[in-house]
């Protein structure tokens, strides 16, 4: 089965940068046959999509457009989320997720229920 492990979280001041990593393994063949995404959940709020990547494009939630970049290093079996110009409202637990391409739809890439494989999460705290 697919296994995901996030790392790279921590505390940073507003305006700073941070890069999250998601090491993945257990794919039937290759990570290229999965859609992958980053999600976040703040205390008392529902989990929300941040960014996702499929075979053709990257998709970003409006609040992070221009500030976050999702990428995939297939050789290292790692998904990344580069975050810049961080704001206090970015504070949350960040999760990476995966779903087989067959079950991945372009209009639902940022919807948590579209994914069935999840990491344990990594905390990101942005102070003002």
pLDDT at 29: 61
pLDDT at 56: 74
Number of H helices, E strands in the chain: 0, 11
pLDDT at 28: 64
pLDDT at 7: 97
pLDDT at 3: 93
**Counting beta carbons within 10 angstroms of the beta carbon of residue 106, is it exposed (0 to 12), middle (13 to 18) or buried (19 or more)?**
exposed
pLDDT at 98: 94
Mean pLDDT by 10 residues, the chain (128 residues): 94 98 81 90 97 90 98 90 98 96 90 96 97
């Amino acid at each position: 089965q697919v296994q995901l492990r996030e790392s790279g979280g921590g505390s940073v001041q507003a305006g700073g940068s941070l890069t999250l990593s998601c090491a993945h393994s257990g794919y039937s063949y290759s990570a290229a046959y999965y859609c992958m995404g980053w999600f976040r959940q703040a205390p008392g709020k529902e989990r929300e999509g941040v960014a996702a990547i499929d075979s053709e494009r990257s998709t970003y939630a409006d609040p992070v457009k221009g500030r976050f970049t999702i990428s995939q290093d297939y050789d290292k079996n790692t998904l990344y989320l580069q975050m810049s110009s961080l704001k206090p409202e970015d504070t949350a637990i960040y999760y990476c997720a995966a779903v087989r391409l067959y079950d991945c739809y372009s209009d639902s890439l940022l919807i948590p229920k579209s994914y069935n494989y999840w990491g344990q999460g990594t905390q990101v705290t942005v102070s003002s």
